[in-house]
A and B are shown apart, each in its own frame.
Chain A
Amino acid sequence: MLELDKIIHQPVRTKIMAYLSSAKECDYTTLRNSLELSDGHMSTHMKELVGCEYVEMEKSFVDNKPKTTYRITNKGRKAFATYVTVLKEIISTT
């Protein structure tokens, strides 16, 4: 049986993981604008991804303004690679 990661297998979270797997790290505003997400969507799904340690978050100050940067972890990278592999297997076996 081919199993998909439940955390990643959600449209918004898939997009976030795809983006971060390519960009390595990204700040909140860039990620939100690039994926055209609302603040509500962003915080909900980022909380989930950070909670399962697929993504790590870093808060800092740049020019006296708070900046949140997200970075994909090794665990997240492996999980996303596995997710894509499973998708490919589903396509090739069905």
Chain B
Amino acid sequence: MAQQIERDEALRQIAEIASVIKSSNTLSFPGRSVLALGIGVLFVPLIEYPTQRLTFGYDFGDNYLIALAIIHVVFYFFYFNGIRFAIRKLFNEDPAAESHPLLARSLAMERPIIVAIAGSILVLVPIGQGHLAYPFVFILLGILFNLYGRLSRPVIFYISWSYIFLGFLYAALSVYQSHEMWLPFNTYMGLTLIVMGYSAVKGKSAS
């Protein structure tokens, strides 16, 4: 049956359609998980120092650097994935289920990034270039969050650029061989992850 509607209703319908299409093009950023990961990052110095860089003082001899790399990759893989898994289970947070199917696929971008981070540590530390591992982490995370930021919230996009710049700055400053230089960078990463996570959680509850 044919129907006629008024101009106002037509405008409302068009606005509704535009809103649905726009929301279907927005990535649901896993705010709570990222916030928890930020807190996890801030705890890293409290893990590293008392455990003597996760070695508990054990002498690995000539294999020290290789062991150090493997221990760190394995430990932090389970540490950060454990945090993320717990938050997702606790708050039923599944960004893939709340996003446009094509955008959900872009979330899978984190897998090659995580592999690249692990690979950087496993290669750079044993060849004595461990001071470049953290800059690699910053740059690779910067690329990942840059993608997320473009599809979700501007604050994530801007912070992602700061990661990339700080990655290069860290690499440039690493010539000074300071053993404590990772601390301010680590603090910055932890705090910015909290900001990104909080922004996403707040934005979601407001929408």
Contacts and interface: CB of A to CB of B under 8 A. Distances in A.
A25 B16 CA distance: 20
21 contacts: A4-B4, A4-B5, A9-B5, A11-B16, A18-B17, A18-B20, A19-B20, A22-B20, A22-B21, A23-B101, A26-B101, A34-B23, A34-B98, A87-B14, A88-B14, A90-B5, A91-B7, A91-B10, A91-B11, A94-B6, A94-B10
| Dominant secondary structure at the B interface | helix
A6 B3 contact: yes
Interface string B8-27: 00110110110011011100
A30 B98 contact: yes
Nearest to B2: A3
> Interface on chain A toward B: helix, strand, loop, or mixed SS?
helix
B97 interface: yes
B98 A22 contact: no
B153 interface: no
B100 interface: yes
A34 B17 CA distance: 14
B3 A9 contact: yes
Contacts of A1: 2, 4
Q: Which of the listed residues A3, A4, A34 has the most CB atoms from chain B within 10 Å of its own CB? A: A34
A52 interface: no
Interface of A: 1-4, 6, 9, 11, 14-15, 18-19, 21-23, 25-27, 29-30, 33-35, 84, 87-88, 90-91, 94
Interface of B: 1-7, 10-11, 13-14, 16-17, 20-21, 23-25, 97-102, 104
Nearest to A3: B2
A77 to B, nearest CB: 14
B98 A33 contact: yes
A23 B24 CA distance: 7
Contacts of B16: 11, 14-15, 18
A84 B14 contact: yes
